[in-house]
């Protein structure tokens, strides 16, 4: 087995995975957060520059807490470095850093879309996926904002979310069609309409849902009368010219921050929208 690749010491990553796995096991499938200053981040997909810029903005905006909505690996060139940095951050700030599971934190996906090829160590690859299985599935901010990677199933109670039965929360997408409809992602994923969404929000006494999972040219999109916010935090995704976005909730004010490549070839904020 290759013990070191792409500048990453596999022994160190093994240790990070083992330590954080224990932390994730202690976290419920639904993590509850009470925070006056929180940042919410969408897909990173191995983009180390984007992650470092986001963490820089976290310090500048003085956000105590940060919720990552999943998809840390695959597609990009630095999945291992992104994962290592996030796990180190989780160990340093266990209560303030929330790492939700995305659909690429599953073996069937990251075996095909770049993570395994970058790791090049089957034992390490399996260790990573065992740790992914322990990650929480959703977060509830201030008892009113529901955060998840993908979407929701039909007639769901947030108290019943399970790490072992998480597929709809990792895979489903919003749709302009009512009810539950087929997805272009495959046979098992589904799309949920405004009627399903409204019933879910009312049943669980929620005001806003924030999710990721969908590549967006402008970095964000609103659904369902601005009660669902979709974020994508990877600029220039797979060679495209898209910008990225993250959101902040500071003193009860929700903001959307777009960023992309600046003239000096580094990432910078483009605008702050709501």
Active site residue 104: yes
Q: What is the CATH number of the domain that holds 213?
A: 3.60.21.10
Q: Count structural domains, the chain.
A: 1
Half-sphere exposure of residue 79, counting CA atoms within 13 Å on the CB side? 22
pLDDT of residue 10: 82
Options 45, 104, 149, 257, the catalytic residue: 104
Q: How confident is the prediction along the chain (274 residues), in pLDDT tens digits per residue?
A: 344 445 567 889 999 999 999 999 999 999 999 999 999 999 999 999 999 999 999 999 999 999 999 999 999 999 999 999 999 999 999 999 999 999 999 999 999 999 999 999 999 999 999 999 999 999 999 999 999 999 999 989 999 999 999 999 999 999 999 999 999 999 999 999 999 999 999 999 999 999 999 999 999 999 999 999 999 999 999 999 999 999 999 998 999 999 998 878 899 999 887 6
Whether this prediction's pTM lies above 0.85 is answered by: yes
Residue 111: give the domain boundaries. 4-273
């Amino acid at each position: 087995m290759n013990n070191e690749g792409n500048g990453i010491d596999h022994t160190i990553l093994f240790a990070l995975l083992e330590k954080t796995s224990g932390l994730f096991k202690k976290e419920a499938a639904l993590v509850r957060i009470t925070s006056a200053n929180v940042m919410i981040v969408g897909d990173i997909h191995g983009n180390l520059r984007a992650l470092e810029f986001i963490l820089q903005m976290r310090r500048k905006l003085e956000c105590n807490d940060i919720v990552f909505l999943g998809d840390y690996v695959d597609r990009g060139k630095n999945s291992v470095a992104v994962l290592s940095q996030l796990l180190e951050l989780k160990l340093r700030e266990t209560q303030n850093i929330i790492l939700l599971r995305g659909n690429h934190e599953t073996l069937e996906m990251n075996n095909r879309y770049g993570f395994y090829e970058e790791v090049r160590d089957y034992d390490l690859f399996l260790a990573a996926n065992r740790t992914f299985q322990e990650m929480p599935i959703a977060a509830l901010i201030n008892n009113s904002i529901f955060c998840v990677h993908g979407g929701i199933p039909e007639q769901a109670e947030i108290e019943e979310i399970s790490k072992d039965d998480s597929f709809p929360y990792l895979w489903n997408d919003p749709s302009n069609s009512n009810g539950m409809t087929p997805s272009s992602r495959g046979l098992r994923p589904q799309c949920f309409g405004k009627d399903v969404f409204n019933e879910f929000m009312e049943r669980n006494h929620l005001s806003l849902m924030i999710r990721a999972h969908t590549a967006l040219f402008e970095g964000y999109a609103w659904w369902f009368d601005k009660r669902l916010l979709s974020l994508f935090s990877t600029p220039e995704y797979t060679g495209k010219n898209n910008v990225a976005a993250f959101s902040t909730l500071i003193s009860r004010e929700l903001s959307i921050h777009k960023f992309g490549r600046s003239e000096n070839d580094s990432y910078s904020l483009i605008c702050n929208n709501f």
